[in-house]
Chains A and B, each alone.
Chain A
């Protein structure tokens, strides 16, 4: 569980130097690393970057399983990219571009793995503060984010219940028979929630 959000995040608890770095520093570091990755031109430099990334993962102590879970989703993209580039541009270019893609994903994932979801959310919210000058109410924005986080489990539960009802009616195969009741229930929930909030005087 990731504290304030009440939803399990990707964050892996730990006390490594990476865990202890302030979020802003990690984000800046990530931006620098990604820029360097784009600028690298030789396979040797890319190999060094891979070693540095592996070293950072070892330092963080998040474990191989957590690392793989972050890279796994891009594996088919990486394979397709490697194949296309090999045919079009040759093996060295294919290896360079594919490693660059995988390393950028791995480094960005490392920031998330070592940062509490609540801390990241607070930093992102702070980043949105200038929107105030455009006329956005920061309190409403915070309310919107916390309401959403609280509503995710409610909607997941609703989806499971609608699925079960559908099974009972024997229309299990129909996506429409799943989605229409789900969306109507979601809207009913939203409008009841809105009335409850406005009854508590949040709409002045």
Chain B
């Protein structure tokens, strides 16, 4: 009766990844590049894409965003509530939805063993490209800035985001080697085999 049924094993995976994204925002930030601590929350978002595949990753991010909107302080720095959605970073948060989906889409096309190059391209395209594509125009709109000005003000985040995209690729590769079922294509095959049994 419901066409978009998610198998219960995937409900669990989506819930755990949404929770992992939240938990990575609660872990104290690491000071890698000087005084501004970088948080690993976006790492969680990009990993959801690489491991869950496109639409399950978007669902995990959507659940996370819904809980933030409901007033749980799950965003890095213990932020949450509706204030986030009228603030300057709203687009960078909403951009995670299509961003994680694109990462998943690219990784899904890598078959049973997506290579490090594909994972890297996926993380950069989804985690930076798509997120900035949504984030910068909304920041410009909220702040009454031109697109160029908003983009310029975003430049400071680029080094940290590139570092996290690279880290995502290596972590995804490491995880998928240790746990083959973490590859979207392998997981799909296993689910299909389970149904036929």
Interface residues of A (CB under 8 A from B): 2, 5, 7-11, 30, 34, 70-71, 73-74, 77, 80-81, 84-85, 88, 93, 97, 100-101, 104-109, 111-113, 115, 117, 120-121, 124, 132, 134-137, 140, 143-145, 147-149, 151-152, 154-156, 158-160, 163, 175-176, 179-180, 182-184, 186-191, 193-195, 197-198, 202-203
Contacts and interface: CB of A to CB of B under 8 A. Distances in A.
Contacts of A115: 71
Interface of B: 2-20, 22-24, 26-27, 30, 40, 43, 47, 51, 59, 63-64, 66-67, 69-74, 77, 79-89, 142-145, 149, 153, 167, 170-171, 174-175, 178-179, 181-182
Contacts, number: 223
Closest A-B pairs by Cβ, 8 of them:
A112-B81, A135-B3, A194-B9, A109-B83, A194-B12, A155-B23, A151-B19, A190-B16
B86 A107 contact: yes
A154 B19 contact: yes
Contact of A159 (B15, B27, B167): B27
Given A101-B143, A145-B66, A187 B81 contact: no
25 contacts: A101-B87, A104-B87, A108-B82, A109-B81, A109-B82, A117-B72, A124-B69, A147-B12, A148-B64, A151-B15, A151-B16, A151-B18, A151-B19, A154-B19, A175-B167, A179-B174, A183-B182, A184-B178, A184-B179, A186-B17, A188-B179, A189-B16, A190-B13, A191-B13, A193-B16
Contacts of B171: 175-176, 179-180, 183
